[in-house]
Amino acid sequence: MTIDKFHEIENKVIETITGSFNKAITISIPDFILLVVRGGYHNHLDKPGIDLSPFVIEDRKDFLIDLTRKKFFVKYINDYVSRLQNERSMSDDEKEFDTNIQLMIYTHIWESHLFLNQLVRLAKIQLGMGYDWITKLDYPKKNVHHNESNLSHVKKGPYIENSIINRFEKSDCNMAQLIKHCYLKELRDDFAHSTYYIDKNTIVSNGSELFCGPSISIEEWEEKFVSSMLFSYHLNDMLLEYRNQFIDTFGEKPIEILLPLKKNPNKKVWVYIKPERIEGKEERVRFRFVMKDEIDDFFSS
């Protein structure tokens, strides 16, 4: 991999994500805003006797769960780019060690609930299906409202194929092609189950066939790894950028969104949320639900 090739891949990834966001905004600005403000579901609040809605904004659950991986992931990206810029070569042992690190990062990317939830929600918005407050990855083992069970351990392969790729193929061919280029179920599974080995310039599968053959070259693997790495990074980073620029672009007026009812999630009501500036390292804008008297004051002023 050269630094020029890295930037070529990065530009393509950013272009694809930008186009995908624009498609979603065209379909529904309120639903895209919910993606930006991390609308989510907390099943521990979905119980009788608790007078709080389980449907929340500013949901940091997935974000915090993913934080340790993200810190390591970002450090690796920075080190990787520095190595390319300095054209530093690696010994065979160093290269083998680094490839194992890449395989671990790759597996984590395609297991990340934060990343997969962002994709499935984006795909549904583009199809006009509204904002998915509860994805299959968010269901508890037993949920009386939704009559779902044992969905907390969703198999990621079929989920990525059916809930993400198949939906994007109907609404956003560029995004579908990017994911199909990046996501290799067999390779992810082979690493997770330790049914692989590295032989000089090749990753050899010992458990299943890769690309209709027994191996993949390091060169081909690295391009797919870099694509996945940049895809995961920029999807989250560009949502954060959109969030931080929200007030400068749209102002501080309240925004109407559809919120599911606690006792009947299939029924939704319009409520208001409001952006506010905050002091923080990354997030400079946050959102909160607006009380009725605040709405009355705003529209009467």
CB-facing half-sphere around the CA of 292: CA atoms within 13 A? 1
Q: How far apart are CA 24 and CA 172, in angstroms?
A: 10
Per-residue pLDDT, 299: 63
H/E segment holding residue 32: helix 29-36
Residue 151's pLDDT band, with cuts at 50, 70 and 90, is very low
- Supply the pLDDT for residue 300: 64
Residues facing 268 on adjacent strands: 260
What pLDDT is recorded for position 158? Answer: 86
Comparing 64 with 99, the larger pLDDT belongs to: 99
**What's the pLDDT band for 32 if we cut at 50, 70, 90?**
very high
Interval 210-234: pLDDT, tens: 444 457 888 999 999 999 999 999 9
The edge-to-edge listing of strands for the beta sheet with 285-289 is 255-260, 268-277, 285-289
Residue 291 has what DSSP assignment? P
* pLDDT score at 234: 97
Confidence of residue 269 (pLDDT cuts 50, 70, 90): very high
pLDDT in tens, 193-203: 788 888 878 88
What pLDDT does 150 receive? 38
204/209 Cα distance (integer angstroms): 9
Question: 254: pLDDT confidence band, cut at 50, 70 and 90?
Answer: very high
CB neighbour class for 116 (10 Å; exposed up to 12, middle 13-18, buried from 19): buried
Burial class (CB in 10 A: 0-12, 13-18, 19+), 135: buried
Q: How far is the C-alpha of 248 from the C-alpha of 230, rounded, in Å?
A: 27
Does residue 129 surpass a pLDDT of 90?
yes
**Per-residue H/E/C for 44-88:** HHCCCCCCCCCEECCCCHHHHHCHHHHHHHHHHHHHHHHHHHCCC
Q: In the predicted model, what is the mean pLDDT of residues 166-174? A: 97
List the structure tokens of 241: 């950028």
Per-residue pLDDT, 7: 97
- Which range among 178-182, 249-253, 292-296 has the greatest average pLDDT? 178-182
Q: Give the mean model confidence (pLDDT) for residues 139-150.
A: 44
Averaged pLDDT, 235-244? 95
105 contacts: CB under 8 Å, gap ≥ 6: 72, 73, 76, 225, 229
Residue 169 CB neighbour total at 10 angstroms: 15
What is the per-residue pLDDT for 144? 40
Burial letters 13-31, b for 16+ CB under 10 A, else e: bbebbeebbebbeebbeeb
Q: If we measure between CA atoms, which residue out of 100, 108, 101 comes closest to residue 198?
A: 100
* pLDDT band with cut points at 50, 70 and 90 for residue 169: very high
Whole-number mean pLDDT of the chain? 87
More confident residue, 293 or 212: 293
Q: Where are the domains of the chain?
A: 3-249
Q: What is the pTM of this model?
A: 0.89
The arithmetic mean of pLDDT across residues 284-292, rounded, is: 90
Q: Which residue has the higher pLDDT, 12 or 45?
A: 12
- Give residue 152's pLDDT band: very low, low, confident or very high (50, 70, 90): very low
pLDDT at 249 over 80: yes
Is the four-CA dihedral 106, 111, 115, 116 of positive or negative sign? positive
